[in-house]
């Protein structure tokens, strides 16, 4: 039997981000985001398991958080957020609430 792992809800979005790995800063587009990570669309490929600092900019909000490249494809990659504090996790939750429409953030509907 396969183990089922729960994941945080993912939300489709579209905003610019910068990812700094060592001395190289790349600009890309965040196409999907969750409390655990994001899908980053880039023109340049990234190295699997490399890590760096992601800068998320939306309206007047900017969050910088460490991230690891967890998945690599031709035009995009998956980043895992490496939140180091509750303050970072809270700021990320606030940013996600700002960039996603309220109807897509609704939780599951319980039928009785």
Task: Give me the CATH number covering residue 42.
Answer: 2.40.10.220
Angle at 58 between CA 52 and CA 59, to 5 degrees: 145
With a cut of 70, list the residues of the chain below it in pLDDT.
1-6, 102-112
pLDDT score recorded for residue 109 = 44
pLDDT score recorded for residue 99 = 83
Residue 100 DSSP code: S
Q: Which domain holds residue 50?
A: 11-100
pLDDT score recorded for residue 98 = 86
3-state SS string for 63-93: EEEEEEEEEECCCEEEEEECCCCHHHHHHHH
* pTM for this model (two decimals): 0.81
pLDDT score recorded for residue 10 = 87
Examine residue 6 and state whether it is found in any structural domain, yes or no.
Answer: no
Q: How far apart are CA 73 and CA 49, in angstroms?
A: 13
pLDDT score recorded for residue 54 = 96
How many domains would you assign to the chain? 1
Examine residue 31 and state whether it is found in any structural domain, yes or no.
Answer: yes
Examine residue 39 and state whether it is found in any structural domain, yes or no.
Answer: yes
* Cβ atoms of residues 78 and 69 within 8 Å: yes
Examine residue 96 and state whether it is found in any structural domain, yes or no.
Answer: yes
Examine residue 105 and state whether it is found in any structural domain, yes or no.
Answer: no
**61 pairs with which residues across the strands?**
58
Examine residue 27 and state whether it is found in any structural domain, yes or no.
Answer: yes
Residue 97 DSSP code: H
């Amino acid at each position: 039997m396969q183990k089922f792992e729960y994941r945080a809800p993912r939300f489709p979005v579209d905003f610019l981000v910068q990812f700094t790995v060592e001395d190289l800063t790349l600009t890309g587009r965040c196409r999907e985001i969750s409390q655990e990570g994001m899908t980053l669309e880039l023109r340049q490929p990234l190295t699997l398991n490399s890590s760096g600092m992601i800068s998320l900019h939306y309206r007047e909000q900017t969050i910088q958080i460490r991230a690891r490249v967890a998945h690599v494809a031709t035009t995009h990659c998956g980043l895992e957020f490496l939140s180091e504090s509750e303050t970072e996790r809270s700021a990320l939750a606030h940013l996600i609430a700002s960039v996603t429409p309220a109807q897509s953030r609704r939780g599951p509907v319980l039928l009785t």
